[in-house]
C-alpha cells in the first residue's frame, strides 16, 4: 500500500516531516516500510503542442510532427508513438536535456529526417508507467511550462497494513488515523450531500429512541425536506432510517438504461449483502492526463482512461473498489450469482479463467461479465468508444472473494480490499464521490438514479464501563479523558454506550474499545509497576545459568546434547551401585554411576545408521555409594563427552582426512572455562579401560578425566572396518560451576578493532620438558599484549642427525594485540626477545633459526 504525501495533505493539515509522519503512523500500528522521493527535477523538458503530423517519407512506423513549445521557434520532431492527435499537448525534451538512464537529447537525423528534440512518455521521464505512448497533458496546460512545475516532487510512504484495518487502505483512512494520533488536523474529508445527510440523520436517530412515533415523524420530515435535486440523498437517508424501523422499506428506483428498466438482481444475499449501480449516458472517455492520473501514477497505478482512473482514484482515496461496465455491451440486467458449470471469463488481463461453482460473478444474459470483487471482463471493459457506463459499488463476502482469488492466482487492488472487508455506507459514499468526478470530466453526461439491492447496516453500539477500563489498563484515567480519546477515532456517545463509525469494522466488543483507548493514550506513557517483589539471585539460579552457559559453549564447539535414562542394567554399572526396591525390569533396576555407558550406546546406534563423525555430550546426575560408609548414598551432577570419526566432512576440495583425536576434545574443554583447565598424567584407577588418560583439574581441583578408550573396548561399539578412536571425558560439574560462580561466566569484551601480529618461536628442549611448562613460563610474564599461544609443530629425530635423540623441537605461534592501538614490528620483536631470555633462564633450551 503506497500513500502520496501531496495527496494525503488534501485531507490532513500537518507540519510534520515525512520521517516524523512515518513515526506517527508506526506508533498507531501502521508499519512504514520505506520512504521514497518522487517527482521530476529534469531541465529542458517543457509542455508543447502538436500542430501537424505527417508520415515519415522513409519509415512506415514514424511520423514527422511540427510542435510549438511556447517559443518563437516551431520545432520538427520525428516520433514513433501513435496515441496522440493533432492539437494534443505533450512533454517535449529539448536539445541538451538529460533524461533518466543517461539519455542526452540532441539535434539529429532519424532515417534521413532531422529531429529537434524528443516527445516523451511518462516512463521515459521517470514519472511512472503511465499509458502506452506519449504522455498527453491537459488541454489547459500552458505551452513552455517546465516539467518540474507540471510534476512537482512528492514523497511516497510504503505501508504494511494489518488485515483487521481495511479503513487504512485509502488516503482518507490514513489521514484520519494520523490526525487521531496528533499528526495534524483533518481539513477536508470527502462527503457527498447524501452521505452528509445520512450522517446528520443517523446522529439524530442515535440521540433518540428509535421506536418513538415523534422520531419517526422527524425522520420523514427530514428526508422530504432535502433539496429536490438530491434524490440520492433522500434514498441513502431513507435506507439509514429503515434500519431503525422509522419508516417502511422504500421503493427502490429502477435502473434507467437505454436497454430496459429492470434493477440488478442478487441471487445470494450472504455473498453480496449490498449492491448498487448507476447508469451514465453521453460519457466522454479519453486518456488525457489529469491530476487524478498523475496521483495514481505516483503510487504505481497505471493510468488507463478517465473513467477507469476515476474508479481507481476513488478506491485509493476511500478504500472502496468500484467497477465500470460498458453499458452497451450488457444484455439484459446485471445479476450477482455464483458461476455455473462450464462457464468461463476472458478477463481484462487477457487470461481466460474457467470458473467454479463457488466463484461469485457479475453476469448478464450472455454470461459472466466480471469476477466479483476481483477482475472485470474484457467484453464489457470501458474503452474510448464507450458512450455509456454502468458504475458498480458493492459489498462482497470476504471469504468468497479470498477463496476465488487464491484459486485463480489473482491479486488485484480490489480483491486485496474486499478480502479485508467493506461496508455499505462506504460503498454508497464512494459511488457518489465517483459521480461528482465523472460530472467534472464529462460536461454533458446524463446521470440517472442509483439502483440499490440491500440496505445500510445498523450502526454498532457498544457498552463501555469506565471502571473496567481503569481496572484492565492498571492505571487511573478520568472519564473525560476516555471520552476524548474515543472521540478522536470517530466514536460518538449515545444513551447505551458508544456508536462505532461505519469504517471501524474491527470494533465489535468492549475490550476492543479499551484497546483503542490505550493505543491512543500511548503504551509508552504507562509507568511500569511491580505486582511482586523480585527475589535476589540464589545459588540455584546461578548454577542453572552456569549449566546453560556450558551447554551453549559445547554446542558452539560442534557438540549435540543427548539424554539417556538414569536407570540401567546391573552389568553396565560399577560395583557400588544403588538398586531399586521395586524396578520395572532388570534392564532398569540400577541407578547409573556414570554417564558414559549411555553415551556409548548412542554412539553405537548412530554409527550403525551411517554417521561418519559424532560429537555428543550429556549433563545429568550419577549415583554412587560412599566407599567409607556403604550405607551412605550420594548423587552428583556430572558432564560426559564422547567423540569419534572425521574431524571434517569430505569435500570436493579434497585435503587429507583427519580423525578426531584427544586434542580436539581437550580444546572443547578449554573453551568451557578459558584459562581454568589443566591436565596431568592420570594416576587414579579409572572405571573405563583406557589406552591413554589424563586427570582434569579446574582451579587446581580434581574434576574428572579425559582420554581414549582402549582399542579392544572401542571395537565393541564400532562397525567392522572402522578404526577411529573413541575419545571420552567424564567431568564433575561442581568445580566448574564454582569457577563460573566466581565470575568466569562473564562475557568477553567487544571484538578488537586493531590488527594482531604473530611470531613463530622454535625451541629445542629435552624430551622431559612438557609443552605445558613452556606455556606456563610464558604466561607467567603477564605480558598484556600476548593474546594467544599455539603449539603448531613437534619434531623429533631418533637418528640424531638433525637434533639430539634426547631432545625435541617445539614450534610455538605467539599472537600479540593491543586493544587501544596498532603494535609496531619493533615493539613485538622486543617482547619476543624478553620472552626468549626468560625461557633460556628457566630451561636448558636452544632457539632454532
* pLDDT tens, residue by residue, 431-482: 999 999 999 888 889 999 999 999 888 889 999 999 999 999 888 899 999 9
Residue position matching grid coordinates 469494522:
505
Quote the pLDDT of residue 133.
87
CA distance 623 to 644: 27
Q: Tell me what the mean pLDDT of segment 279-306 comes to.
A: 86
Among residues 420, 401, 419, the alpha carbon closest in space to that of 362 is found at 401
Res 413: pLDDT:
94
pLDDT attached to residue 627:
56
Residue 240 predicted with pLDDT over 70 = no
Give the pLDDT score at 640.
95
Share of the chain above pLDDT 90, in %: 53
Calculate mean pLDDT across residues 23-39. Answer: 89
Q: How confident is the model at residue 636 (pLDDT cuts 50, 70, 90)?
A: confident
Is the pLDDT reported for residue 208 higher than 70?
no
Q: Please state the rounded mean pLDDT for residues 823-834.
A: 92
Q: How confident is the model at residue 742 (pLDDT cuts 50, 70, 90)?
A: low
* 131 pLDDT tier (thresholds 50, 70, 90): low
Alpha helices in 557-628 (DSSP H): 596-608
So what's the pLDDT on residue 564?
93
pLDDT digits (tens, 9 = 90+) for 580-607: 888 888 888 888 888 998 999 999 899 8
pLDDT score at 721: 65
Q: Which of 237, 240, 214, 38 is nearest to 126 (CA)?
A: 38
- For the chain, count helices (H), then strands (E): 22, 43
Q: What is the mean pLDDT of residues 550-571?
A: 90
User: Residue 655 has what pLDDT?
Assistant: 63
Out of 436-440, 527-531, 641-645, 714-718, least confident range: 527-531
The pTM of the full predicted model, rounded to 2 decimals, is 0.56
What residue ranges in 296-376 does DSSP mark as E strands?
Answer: 323-326, 335-338, 344-346, 352-354, 360-363, 368-371, 375-376
The percent of residues in the chain predicted with pLDDT above 70, rounded, is 87
Predicted pLDDT of residue 728: 94
- Tens of pLDDT, residue by residue over 322-340, are 999 999 999 999 999 999 9
Cα–Cα dist 633/590, whole Å: 13
Question: Kindly report the CA angle at 420 between 416 and 426, in degrees rounded to 5?
Answer: 95
Report pLDDT digits (tens) over 378-419. Answer: 999 999 999 999 999 999 999 999 999 999 999 999 999 999
Rounded to an integer, the average pLDDT of 741-751 is: 61
Task: Give the relative orientation of helices 771-779 and 825-842 as an angle to the nearest 10 degrees.
Answer: 120
Confidence of residue 130 (pLDDT cuts 50, 70, 90): low
Residue 201 has pLDDT above 50, yes or no: no
Once rounded to an integer, what is the mean pLDDT over residues 282-303? 84
Q: How many CB atoms lie within 10 A of CB 758?
A: 13
pLDDT at 89: 93
On whether the CB atoms of residues 223 and 232 are closer than 8 A, the answer is: no
Q: Which of 180-189, 303-312, 506-515, 621-630 is predicted with the least confidence, judged by mean pLDDT? A: 621-630
Number of Cβ atoms within 10 Å of the Cβ of 464 = 17
Q: Which of 740 and 650 is assigned the larger pLDDT? A: 740
DSSP state letter for 751:
P
* Model confidence at 315: pLDDT above 50: yes
Of 155, 82, 158, nearest to 119 (Cα)? 82
Residue 265 has pLDDT above 60, yes or no: yes
Tell me, what's the pLDDT at 772? 84
Grid cell listed for 107: 539535434
CA distance 355 to 358: 8
Mean pLDDT, residues 790-803 taken together = 90
Q: What are the φ/ψ torsions at residue 652 (nearest 5 degrees)? A: -65, -15
Report whether 77 contacts 92 (CB < 8 A). yes
Could you read off the pLDDT of 811-822 as tens digits, one per residue?
999 999 998 899
Q: How high is the pLDDT of residue 262?
A: 54
Amino acid at each position: 500500500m503506497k500513500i502520496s504525501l501531496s495527496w494525503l495533505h488534501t485531507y490532513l493539515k500537518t507540519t510534520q516531516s515525512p520521517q516524523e509522519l512515518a513515526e506517527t503512523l508506526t506508533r498507531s500500528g501502521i508499519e512504514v516500510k520505506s520512504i521514497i522521493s518522487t517527482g521530476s527535477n529534469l531541465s529542458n523538458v517543457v509542455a508543447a503542442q502538436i500542430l501537424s503530423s505527417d508520415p515519415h517519407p522513409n519509415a512506415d512506423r514514424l511520423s514527422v510532427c511540427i510542435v510549438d513549445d511556447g517559443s518563437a521557434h516551431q520545432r520538427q520532431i520525428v516520433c514513433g508513438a501513435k496515441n496522440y492527435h493533432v492539437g494534443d499537448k505533450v512533454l517535449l525534451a529539448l536539445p541538451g536535456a538529460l533524461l533518466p538512464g543517461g539519455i542526452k537529447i540532441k539535434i539529429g537525423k532519424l532515417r534521413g529526417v532531422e529531429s529537434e528534440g524528443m516527445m516523451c512518455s511518462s516512463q521515459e521521464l521517470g514519472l511512472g508507467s503511465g499509458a502506452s505512448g506519449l504522455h498527453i497533458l491537459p488541454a489547459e496546460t500552458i505551452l513552455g511550462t517546465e516539467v518540474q512545475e507540471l510534476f512537482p516532487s512528492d514523497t511516497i510512504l510504503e505501508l504494511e497494513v494489518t488485515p483487521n484495518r481495511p479503513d487504512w487502505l485509502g488516503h482518507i483512512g490514513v489521514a484520519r488515523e494520523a490526525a487521531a494520533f496528533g499528526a495534524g488536523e483533518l481539513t477536508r474529508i470527502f462527503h457527498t450531500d447524501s452521505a452528509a445527510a445520512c450522517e446528520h440523520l443517523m446522529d439524530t436517530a442515535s440521540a433518540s429512541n428509535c421506536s418513538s412515533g415523534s422520531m419517526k415523524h422527524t425522520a420523514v420530515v427530514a428526508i422530504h425536506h432535502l433539496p429536490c435535486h438530491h434524490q440520492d440523498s433522500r434514498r441513502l437517508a431513507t435506507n439509514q432510517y429503515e434500519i431503525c424501523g422509522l419508516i417502511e422499506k422504500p421503493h427502490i428506483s429502477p435502473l434507467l438504461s437505454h436497454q430496459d428498466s429492470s434493477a440488478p438482481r442478487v441471487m445470494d444475499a450472504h455473498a453480496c449483502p449490498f449492491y448498487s449501480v448507476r447508469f451514465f449516458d453521453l460519457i466522454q472517455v479519453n486518456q488525457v492526463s489529469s491530476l487524478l492520473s498523475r496521483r495514481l501514477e505516483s503510487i504505481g497505478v497505471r493510468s488507463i482512461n478517465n473513467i477507469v482512473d476515476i474508479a481507481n482514484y476513488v478506491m485509493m482515496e476511500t478504500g472502496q473498489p468500484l467497477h465500470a461496465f460498458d453499458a452497451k455491451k450488457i444484455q439484459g440486467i446485471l445479476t450477482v450469482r455464483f458461476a455455473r458449470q462450464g462457464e468461463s471469463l476472458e478477463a481484462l488481463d487477457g487470461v481466460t479463467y474457467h470458473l467454479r461453482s463457488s466463484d461469485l460473478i457479475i453476469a448478464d444474459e450472455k454470461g459472466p461479465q466480471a469476477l466479483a470483487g476481483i477482475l472485470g471482463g474484457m467484453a464489457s471493459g470501458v474503452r474510448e468508444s464507450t458512450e455509456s457506463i454502468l458504475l458498480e459499488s458493492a459489498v462482497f463476502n470476504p471469504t468468497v472473494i479470498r477463496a476465488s482469488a487464491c484459486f485463480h492466482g489473482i491479486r488485484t487492488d480490489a480483491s486485496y480490499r474486499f478480502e479485508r472487508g467493506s461496508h455499505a455506507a462506504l460503498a454508497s459514499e464512494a459511488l457518489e464521490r465517483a459521480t461528482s468526478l465523472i460530472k467534472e470530466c464529462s460536461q454533458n453526461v446524463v446521470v440517472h438514479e442509483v439502483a440499490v439491492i440491500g440496505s445500510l447496516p445498523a450502526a454498532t453500539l457498544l457498552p463501555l464501563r469506565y471502571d473496567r477500563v481503569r481496572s484492565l489498563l492498571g492505571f487511573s484515567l478520568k472519564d473525560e479523558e476516555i471520552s476524548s480519546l474515543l472521540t478522536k477515532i470517530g466514536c460518538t456517545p449515545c444513551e447505551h454506550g458508544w456508536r462505532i463509525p461505519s469504517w471501524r469494522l474491527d470494533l465489535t466488543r468492549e475490550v476492543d474499545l479499551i484497546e483503542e483507548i490505550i493505543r491512543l493514550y500511548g503504551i509508552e506513557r504507562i509507568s511500569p509497576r511491580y505486582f511482586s517483589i523480585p527475589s535476589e539471585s540464589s545459588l540455584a539460579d546461578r548454577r542453572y545459568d552456569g549449566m546453560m552457559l556450558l551447554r551453549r559453549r559445547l554446542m558452539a564447539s560442534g557438540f549435540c546434547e543427548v539424554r539417556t535414562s538414569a536407570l540401567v542394567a546391573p552389568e553396565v554399572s560399577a560395583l557400588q551401585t544403588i538398586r531399586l526396591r521395586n524396578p520395572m525390569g532388570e534392564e532398569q533396576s540400577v541407578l547409573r554411576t556414570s554417564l558414559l555407558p549411555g553415551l556409548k550406546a548412542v554412539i553405537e546406534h548412530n554409527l550403525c545408521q551411517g554417521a561418519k563423525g559424532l560429537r555428543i555430550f550429556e549433563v545429568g546426575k550419577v549415583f554412587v555409594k560412599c566407599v567409607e560408609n556403604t550405607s551412605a548414598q550420594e548423587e552428583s551432577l556430572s558432564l560426559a563427552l564422547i567423540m569419534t570419526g572425521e574431524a571434517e566432512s569430505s569435500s570436493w576440495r579434497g585435503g587429507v582426512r583427519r580423525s578426531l583425536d584427544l586434542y580436539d576434545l581437550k580444546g572443547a574443554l578449554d573453551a568451557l572455562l578459558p584459562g581454568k583447565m589443566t591436565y596431568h598424567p592420570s594416576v587414579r584407577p579409572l572405571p573405563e579401560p583406557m589406552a591413554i588418560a589424563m586427570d582434569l583439574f579446574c582451579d587446581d581441583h580434581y574434576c574428572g578425566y579425559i582420554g581414549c578408550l582402549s582399542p579392544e573396548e572401542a571395537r565393541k561399539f564400532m562397525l567392522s572396518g572402522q578404526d577411529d578412536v573413541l575419545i571420552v571425558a567424564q567431568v564433575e560439574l561442581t568445580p566448574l560451576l564454582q569457577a563460573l560462580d566466581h565470575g568466569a561466566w562473564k562475557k568477553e569484551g567487544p571484538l578488537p578493532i586493531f590488527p594482531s601480529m604473530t611470531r613463530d618461536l622454535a625451541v629445542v628442549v629435552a624430551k622431559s620438558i612438557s609443552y605445558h611448562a613452556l606455556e606456563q613460563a610464558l604466561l607467567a610474564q603477564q605480558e598484556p599484549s600476548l593474546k594467544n599461544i599455539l603449539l603448531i609443530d613437534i619434531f623429533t629425530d631418533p637418528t640424531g642427525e638433525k637434533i639430539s635423540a634426547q631432545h625435541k623441537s617445539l614450534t610455538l605461534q605467539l599472537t600479540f594485540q593491543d586493544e587501544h592501538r596498532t603494535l609496531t614490528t619493533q615493539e613485538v620483536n622486543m617482547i619476543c626477545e624478553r620472552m626468549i631470555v626468560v625461557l633460556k633462564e628457566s630451561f636448558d633450551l636452544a632457539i632454532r633459526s
